[in-house]
Copies of this chain bind each other. A is one copy, B any other.
């Protein structure tokens, strides 16, 4: 039994495509830097639905201690420092997934 961590972001008005690209570039590097990440996916909302958030991150880890290691990892915290000022809203869940 693993854990899937989901974080959805809504950007503040005035957020530029360049800012979002900079976030994506940093997120791309995390799986190579944080060994606890078994699977990692993220991306901008495709604008299929209405009322959606703007961006999603989906991270699969083996268990709670690995999630904490990811959450508190300095490289992850460095990306969060970039993301935080861009956030209008954030929604998150960690839930159990089959291995």
Give me the interface of A with B, judged by CB distance under 8 Å: 3-4, 6, 8, 41-46, 48-49, 51-56, 58, 64, 67-68, 71, 89, 91-98
Quick check: A93 and B4 within 8 Å, CB to CB? no
- Residues of chain B lying within 8 A (CB to CB) of residue A64: 46, 48
| Most chain B CB atoms below 10 A, which of A46, A67, A93 | A93
CB distance from A31 to the nearest CB of B (A): 12
Interface CB pairs A-B, < 8 A, 23: A3-B46, A4-B41, A4-B58, A6-B58, A8-B91, A8-B92, A41-B95, A44-B95, A45-B95, A46-B64, A46-B94, A48-B68, A48-B94, A49-B92, A49-B94, A52-B93, A52-B94, A53-B93, A54-B93, A55-B93, A55-B95, A56-B95, A89-B91
